[in-house]
Structure 1
Amino acid sequence: MWNSLILSLCELTQKMDALLNQLKVNAPSIGIGPAGRIGTSISPVLKQGAQPVKLVNGNPMRLGVIIQNNSDGEFMIALDENRIDERYYTFRLKPGETLHMDERQFKELYKGGMMGLWDETSGALETSKALVTEIFWTT
């Protein structure tokens, strides 16, 4: 289990480095001056029974979000900070899958809050977790 977590962290770090390099190239075009810095927040999100979990709050300075499903069950993600259920979600990650949300993939980045919920029927254990990384501009 630790080996797969370490491999996932290494993969996420490589992808974050690639995204940060891309952002450095585009920084002048989006109006961030030399005082602007790139910040990151990396948070493990643990399953809370059958209850939804908050993944990120809304952030107008967001540059990207990476969510990795590190569980045995499927993980649903809603681009909504107040609502998610088995019929109302935006993305569904299989075990071990990673979602990369940035302007390169989606042309425009969602800056609002996100919720997550494990699909109980897909084998999500009580020890299920997701690793959430948010990349953003700081001052």
Structure 2
Amino acid sequence: MWNSLIQSLCELTGKIDALLEQLQAPSTSIGIGPAGRIGTSISPVLKQGTSPVKLVNGNPTRLGVIIHNSSDGEFMIALDEARINGRYYTFKLKPGETLHMDERQFKELYKGGMMGLWDEDSGALETSKALVTEIFWSQ
């Protein structure tokens, strides 16, 4: 679990370093985003009983999202900002799994909101949480 999370963070750090090097080059034109700086938002999302939780809002400047299931139960993720349930979800993470959403894996990045919900039948405790990291162009 920790090895895959650390590996993911190392890969993202490498990507950010490469982008920063390109941004610092005086004559490089790489199609910088609207503001030219990379920002991140890292937040723990706690289980709210049996209710869905908002993972991220829609963001047109999004570069990537990493979601790590740091719980004992399975965590469902919907690429929808309004609904999710046991039959309506896009991804399901087992305990300790991490989802990486970036253009490298999906060729195009989803920029809308996302919802999450723990599968009660899989042993999700009330203390369940997920760690959500969003990478985006900032001002």
TM-score category (smaller protein): 0.7 to 0.9
* CA distance in 1 between partners of 2:104 and 2:130 (Å): 23
Q: TM-score, normalised on structure 1?
A: 0.86
Provide the secondary structure at the position in 2 that maps to 1:68: strand
Q: Does 24-33 or 40-49 show the bigger shift?
A: 24-33
Q: Does 18-27 or 100-109 show the bigger shift?
A: 18-27
* CA distance in 2 between partners of 1:108 and 1:25 (Å): 23
* CA distance in 1 between partners of 2:85 and 2:22 (Å): 37
**Matched AA of 1:14:** C
Provide the secondary structure at the position in 1 that maps to 2:14: helix
> Any gaps of 5 or more consecutive residues in structure 1?
none
Q: CA deviation at 1:13?
A: 2.7
- Specify whether residues 130 and 100 from structure 1 end up closer, same or farther in structure 2 by C-alpha distance, changes over 3 A only: same
Provide the secondary structure at the position in 2 that maps to 1:121: helix
What do the CA deviations read for 1:2-40 (whole angstroms, capped 9, x no partner)? xx77x676444313213324545787443438x611000
Q: CA deviation at 1:85?
A: 0.2
* CA distance in 1 between partners of 2:99 and 2:61 (Å): 19
Q: Which has the higher helix share?
A: 1
Please tell me whether residue 32 in structure 1 is matched to residue 33 in structure 2.
yes
Decide whether the 8 Å contact of 2:5 with 2:68 is kept in 1.
no
Paired residue for 2:131?
A: 131
Across the aligned residues of Structure 1 and Structure 2, the Cα RMSD in angstroms comes to 2.2
Structure with max Cα Rg:
2
Aligned-residue sequence identity (percent) comes to: 72
> Any gaps of 5 or more consecutive residues in structure 2?
24-28
Paired residue for 2:9?
A: 13
* CA distance in 2 between partners of 1:123 and 1:116 (Å): 16
**Matched AA of 1:133:** T
> What are the equivalent positions in structure 2 for 1:26-105 lying under 5 Å apart?
28-32=29-33, 36-105=36-105
Paired residue for 2:26?
A: none
